[in-house]
Structure 1
Amino acid sequence: MKKVAVFGKPANGKSTLSKKLASATGIKLYALDSILYKPNGEEVTRKSYEEAHESILSSEEWIIEGFGPMNSLDSFNKRLEEADTLIYIELPYFVTYWLVTKRFLKGLFIKPEGWPDGSSVLKGTLESYKVLKLCPQFWNDGFLQRLEKLSEGKSLHVIRSVSELNSFVEKNVQ
C-alpha cells in the first residue's frame, strides 16, 4: 500500500477514512478538494488542477481522496491506473442522503471534515444533492465491473456499510 485512491459518493466518509489511513501508514494525504478549490471556494483553473494532480501522481507514495472535477474523468481514471490500492466507498443511497444532511447540519456549527476553507456549506450541500441525483449514472454495476477489471494486480476494497468503513483501517493496516 503505497499509492492509494479513495473514492465514492459525496459524504460517504472518504475524508475521515483517508485521514485515519494516512495516520496509520505515515503516507501523505492529498484531498482533491484542496487542490480543486481556492480558499474562497472558487474552482482553480483546469491547468492548475492538472499540474498539481500530476505532481502528486509522480510521488512515490500518496493517498488521494476524492473524485476531482466533475466534468472530466481523465484525472480520475489516471489515478485509478497509478494506484496500487483502490478503496471504493459504496454506501446505500439512503445512508448517503442522510450523511449529506448530517454534514450540513453539523457544518452550521463546525467546518465539515475535508471541507475547503472559505466554501459555503449550504452551497456545497446543494451541490452534493445534485451530484447524488446523477450518481446512479456513474456509480453503478457497470462501474464496479470496470473497476474489478482495472484492479487486476492491485488491492481493491469495496466498502458497503458504515461498520465496514469504521473498522477498515484497523482490519487492513498492519
Structure 2
Amino acid sequence: MKRINVVGTSGSGKSHFSNRLAAKLGVPYIEMDAVFWLPNWQHLELEDFIATLKPLLEQESWVLDGNQSKTNSFKWQYVDTIVWLDYGFWHTFKQMLFRSVKRAYTKEEVWPCTGNKESFRRNFFSSDSVVLWMLSNYWKTRKKYAKLFNSPATQAINCIRLSSPKQAEAFLANTVAD
C-alpha cells in the first residue's frame, strides 16, 4: 500500500482516519476538499482541480482523502488501494451532527487559507447544509461504492471495506510502513 484513497459518505470520518493512516505510514496526507475549495466557498473547476491534484498524485506514496467521483478515472490511475469507510447510518449521522455543531460553534476555518467557516445557519438551515447533503447522499454513496468494489474498474486495485470504527482501529493497528 503506497497510494491509498480513503472514501466514504460525508461524515464517515475520512479525514480523521486518513490523517492517522498517513502519519502511521509516514507518507503525505492529501485532503481533496482542501485542494478543491477556494475562499468564499468557491471551488476549482474540474480541469483545474485535476491539474492541481496531478503533481500531488505523482508522488511515490500518499493517503488521499475524498470521494469527488468526477475525478475517479483520473485518480485511480495512481491508486493501488481504496479504503471504504462504510459505517452504519446512525453512527455516521451522529458524527456529522457533532462535527457540524462543533464547527459552527467554534467558527474554526475548515481548510487553511480559505477563510471558509461553517455556521449554524449554513449547516442546518440552508441548501448548502452538510447535514442535508449527508442525509440525501448516504444511501446513494453506499450503493455506488458497493457496485464499484465489484466492477472491472477496480479489478487491479486492492479494495478494503471497513464497516465499523472497531474494524478501522484494527486496520490502523495492523498497518505497517514498508
Q: Aligned letter for 2:58?
A: S
| 2:161 corresponding residue in structure 1 | 158
Instruction: For residue 96 of structure 1, report the CA deviation from its aligned partner.
Output: 1.1
| Unmatched tracts of structure 1, length 5 or more | none
| 1:27 corresponding residue in structure 2 | 27
Instruction: For residue 143 of structure 1, report the CA deviation from its aligned partner.
Output: 3.3
Pairing 1:84–2:87 present = no
Distance 1:88 1:81, change over 3 A: farther
Percent identical among aligned pairs is: 17
Instruction: For residue 84 of structure 1, report the CA deviation from its aligned partner.
Output: 0.7
| Structure 2 counterparts to residues 135-150 of structure 1, below 5 A | 135-140=138-143, 143-149=145-151, 150=153
Q: Aligned letter for 1:116?
A: W
> Out of 108, 114, 129, which is 1:111 matched to?
108
Q: Which has the larger radius of gyration?
A: 2
- String of CA shifts for 1:79-104, please: whole Å, max 9, x gaps: 23421111001111111111110101
Q: Aligned letter for 1:146?
A: L
Instruction: For residue 134 of structure 1, report the CA deviation from its aligned partner.
Output: 2.6
Q: Distance in 2 between matches of 1:160 and 1:111?
A: 29
Q: SS at 2:76's partner residue?
A: helix
Q: Distance in 2 between matches of 1:77 and 1:89?
A: 20
- String of CA shifts for 1:113-160, please: whole Å, max 9, x gaps: xx32422323356134224313323421x6313223444343221111
Q: Report if aligned partners of 1:97, 1:129 keep a CA contact under 8 Å in 2.
A: no
RMSD: 2.3
| Structure 2 counterparts to residues 31-110 of structure 1, below 5 A | 31-68=31-68, 73-107=69-103, 108-109=105-106
TM-score by length of 2: 0.80
Q: Please identify, of 34-43 and 147-156, the stretch whose mean Cα deviation from structure 2 is larger.
A: 147-156
| 1:130 corresponding residue in structure 2 | 133
Q: Please identify, of 30-39 and 142-151, the stretch whose mean Cα deviation from structure 2 is larger.
A: 142-151
TM-score by length of 1: 0.82
Q: Distance in 1 between matches of 2:54 and 2:134?
A: 25
Q: SS at 1:30's partner residue?
A: strand
> Out of 168, 173, 177, which is 1:170 matched to?
173
Q: SS at 1:120's partner residue?
A: coil
Instruction: For residue 163 of structure 1, report the CA deviation from its aligned partner.
Output: 1.5
Q: Report if aligned partners of 1:18, 1:63 keep a CA contact under 8 Å in 2.
A: yes
Q: Report if aligned partners of 1:10, 1:132 keep a CA contact under 8 Å in 2.
A: no
Q: SS at 1:82's partner residue?
A: coil
| Unmatched tracts of structure 2, length 5 or more | none
Instruction: For residue 8 of structure 1, report the CA deviation from its aligned partner.
Output: 0.5
